[in-house]
Amino acid sequence: MAGGNGGKGDRERDNSLLNDIRKRFIDRLSPSTLRSRIFWEATERLSRSRWNRPDWEADRISLSHFLKSTRDAYFKRAPVVWSNLLVPSEIIHGTECIPFYPEMASAVVAAAGLAPRFIDRAAEAGFSPDACSFHRCMLGCAVDGFLPEPDYLLTTNYPCDSAPLSFSYISRLYGIPHDIVDIPLPGREASLDLLAEQLRDVARYLAGLSGLKATRARERMEEAFEFSNQALGYLREIEEMRKRSDCMLDGKDAMGNISVLSACMGSKAGLEFYSKLAGEMRERGSEGDNSLRIMWMHLKPWYSQRIFEILDNYNVRVVCEEYTHATWEHLDPVRPFHSLAEKVGGHFLVGPVERRASHLVKLAEDYRIEGAIHYNHWGCRQSCGGALQVKKALGARNIPTLLMDGDCVDEREYQEGQIGTRLEAFLESLS
Amino acid sequence: MDKDRIVAWFCTYTPLEMLDAAGLIPSRHFGDPQILESADALLHPAICPYARACLAHELKADGPHHALFINSCDAMRRLYDTWKDAFSGDFIYLMDLPRNQDGGGERMLAEEMKHLAAALRERWGVTITSRELLRACVRREESRLAYLDSTRGAGGGERLRSAMRLHTGLEAGDDSDGERTRGGTAGTPILLTGNLLNPEGLVTWLERAGARVVWTDLCNGDRAFCSSTMAEGEDMDELLASLSAAYLERHPCARMSDSSRRYDLLVETTRRVGARGIVYASLKFCDSYLYDYPLVEDRLKEEGIPVLRLESDYTDGHVGQLMTRIEAFLEMI
């Protein structure tokens, strides 16, 4: 979760500090810096210092977890597994491997203002600007040696084509294996068994990488399921609280939780994060009763908060986001791989767009939204390709939707003036 | 011709034998590149122009709009979504295609074929028998071999038109439409690789510039015919298992997981057909090929095979501007 609730003066001070940090440290980052103990000690100290003032204390837990996990990945303290969004992280935590989600790394790189440098590097390596910038940024980082070396690459065939394809390049670059898990279309029960088999094979391979014996591997997977199930319980509670009109958790903060949802389920940190967040939400007072409630679809530009400043100016709150919700039921440790297959295969991004549209319509109804914004990230065929059907489905419920073209990672493709004008016109039409 | 039995298809992983065996008429859709922008109201403009051209054409066409889509890429899946939304009531079906070409992939594809057979039975009341499926496989195999025979020595444009005639379900042999393209032995022999190209576009410009396209490693060209999908088996289960394996073993496109095998096949084909270089041409916004190119380029460099990368918007109105690059490449090789 990024951002803050401070005033203009605070923001200016923060920006000035950020710029200073950027010039002194971030712009000078090198692959060897990221592999030095001093860097990680300093970063972790900074994250615990008074300079880090998250709106939600739960964010300290996720930040601390990601810093530790990323540091461990650079130092190879366990086998490092690169994955994409729909790979169930329980399978990685449950085999004592370190998950690394390079698409999320791109978001972090973008937030640090470094994405253009790596996107240009990917272009030099031959990657077209028509491809998704999450992946181009990741590829540029990898080519220049900025990412922790993987021991294994694992992707699913959803949510988009880019991950299986870009990971193929990474596989050649590092000379390490890459497996693609084929998630079948919905309604194919026999193929769901085949999906479970694939996940079982992956788990065996990962346990082999970690050197886990069978008994220990079973215990660790059961523990990961327990963490995941408990975290799911808190996440459901958070969702219920967010449906209330007085809920304070705004989408601009909550959107970053996609990283926890994707990468931390099955870990102790995932459980602690959702437990803490649920506790904080229970304790906080009311705010925003008069705000206009909107839903955010796809992701946000990670390098700019400008859109959310405009939303604040219009007293509009993002009360739900497309990707931060639980989309599965409790996992069953007795039939772990079928259970994971159901989790993955049941995701709304698997298969035709009508599932995605149904998911979004349900969110719209549950959260009583009055408008929706679909951020059309350049190069994202799965998302942009279905945006018009989503808009139509929401329109049938009298929910106006703004389709806003932009780029989540490459700030050079962000037309601030144009986006601001369109957004303001849309918000005026809502009020 | 009973229009209600015509089923449009798009991707070369479509098991045509199953449609044949069900007594249907599979006809590949190539869309209308000249009006593809008219689909923008329904499909985002950063989606594959082939998908947009197909939708644009179909929106102007009379029904029925039966179509069988393969879940091969984001663009195909989104085209399916839009088609289904626009033409409800017709047979509009999305069939899965695993990326893995191993045993698990084969079993998954065989399951998909059973699912398709059930959907065809539900719609048309036909039950595909093993006898009909086997006969359909034989007919497709004969047609494939006839294509390879008839295109021996033909130029790139002719090869594409021949392939496309077969795919649309028309008879091969008549090449009266379109520009005659360079065959014989004149010109610099090149291999054209990529996804799907307009036969009246980039390929004709290549030949005008002095290239002799001796092999079209495209999904609407030779690649669709260079591997057999002949199935064997005593009963339906065996036949479908065999057909699935055959489809997954065919010369793959960039979407499939086994890129090493594809690069090996590309290098081997280039040498076999005597091409002196490769033109890598793909449609805009096709992620499979956008991510593939840097790897192909590296491999071809290792093999000492020159390569030129070009991009097509399916209309290819811009190709004249590329002539200098094309001519320089041909001179270089």
pLDDT digits (tens, 9 = 90+) for A142-162: 999 999 999 999 999 999 999
pLDDT band for position A4 (50/70/90)?
A: very low
For residue B223, the surrounding DSSP H or E stretch is none
Q: Which of A198, A378, A386 sits opposite B78 (nearest CB)?
A: A386
d(CA A210, CA A95) in angstroms, rounded, equals: 7
- Position A3 scores a pLDDT of 37
**Which residues in chain A are contacts of B294 at CB distance < 8 A?**
125-127, 169
Comparing alpha-carbon positions, the chain A residue that sits nearest to B48 is: A381
pLDDT band for position A1 (50/70/90)?
A: very low
From the first residue on, what is the mean pLDDT of each consecutive set of 10 residues in chain B (333 residues)?
93 98 97 95 95 97 96 97 95 97 95 97 97 97 96 93 90 47 75 95 92 96 96 96 97 92 97 97 96 97 97 89 92 94
Q: How far is B44 from chain A (nearest CA, A)?
A: 5
Comparing alpha-carbon positions, the chain A residue that sits nearest to B82 is: A389
Are A298 and A251 in contact by the 8 Å Cβ rule? The answer is no
pLDDT band for position A298 (50/70/90)?
A: very high
The edge-to-edge listing of strands for the beta sheet with B25-28 is: B25-28, B6-9, B67-71, B92-96
Q: Which of B41, B287, B294 sits opposite A381 (nearest CB)?
A: B287
Q: Which of B105, B107, B288 sits opposite A165 (nearest CB)?
A: B288
- What is the widest separation between alpha-carbon atoms in chain B? 59
pTM of the model: 0.94
Interface size between A and B, measured as CB pairs under 8 A: 130
- Position B173 scores a pLDDT of 42
**Inter-chain touch A385–B77, beta carbons under 8 Å:** yes
Comparing alpha-carbon positions, the chain A residue that sits nearest to B311 is: A128
pLDDT band for position A248 (50/70/90)?
A: confident
**Inter-chain touch A168–B107, beta carbons under 8 Å:** no
Phi, psi dihedral angles at A152 (to 5 degrees): -160, 145
Are B306 and B278 in contact by the 8 Å Cβ rule? The answer is yes
Phi, psi dihedral angles at A154 (to 5 degrees): -135, 120
Comparing alpha-carbon positions, the chain B residue that sits nearest to A143 is: B294
pLDDT at A10 over 80: no
pLDDT at A366 over 50: yes
Comparing alpha-carbon positions, the chain B residue that sits nearest to A166 is: B291
- Position B44 scores a pLDDT of 93
A380-422 pLDDT, tens per residue?
Answer: 999 999 999 999 999 999 999 999 999 999 999 999 899 999 9
**Inter-chain touch A385–B47, beta carbons under 8 Å:** yes
**A193 close to B (CB below 8 A):** no
Mean pLDDT of chain A: 93
A170-205 pLDDT, tens per residue?
Answer: 999 999 999 999 999 999 988 899 999 999 999 999
* Mutation target among A119, A128, A143 for the B interface, most CBs of B within 10 A: A128
**Inter-chain touch A385–B81, beta carbons under 8 Å:** yes
- Position A6 scores a pLDDT of 44
Question: Residue B125, by phi and psi: left (phi above 0), alpha (psi -120 to 50) or beta?
Answer: left
Where is pLDDT greater, at A6 or B269? B269
**Inter-chain touch A182–B98, beta carbons under 8 Å:** yes
DSSP A98: E
Q: Which residues contact B245 (CB under 8 A, 6 or more apart)?
A: B106
* Mutation target among A124, A133, A160, A191 for the B interface, most CBs of B within 10 A: A191
**Which residues in chain A are contacts of B104 at CB distance < 8 A?**
182, 194, 197-198
**Which residues in chain B are contacts of A354 at CB distance < 8 A?**
81, 84
**A204 close to B (CB below 8 A):** no
**Inter-chain touch A185–B71, beta carbons under 8 Å:** yes
- Closest Cα to residue B21, out of B144, B107, B163, B120? B120
- Position A244 scores a pLDDT of 86
**Inter-chain touch B108–A191, beta carbons under 8 Å:** yes
Q: Which of A135, A172, A194 sits opposite B108 (nearest CB)?
A: A194
**Inter-chain touch A386–B41, beta carbons under 8 Å:** no
Q: How far is A125 from chain B (nearest CA, A)?
A: 7
- Closest Cα to residue A138, out of A99, A181, A103? A103
- Position A286 scores a pLDDT of 61
Interface of A with B in 382-421 (CB under 8 A): 382, 384-389, 392
- What is the widest separation between alpha-carbon atoms in chain A? 61
pLDDT band for position A348 (50/70/90)?
A: very high
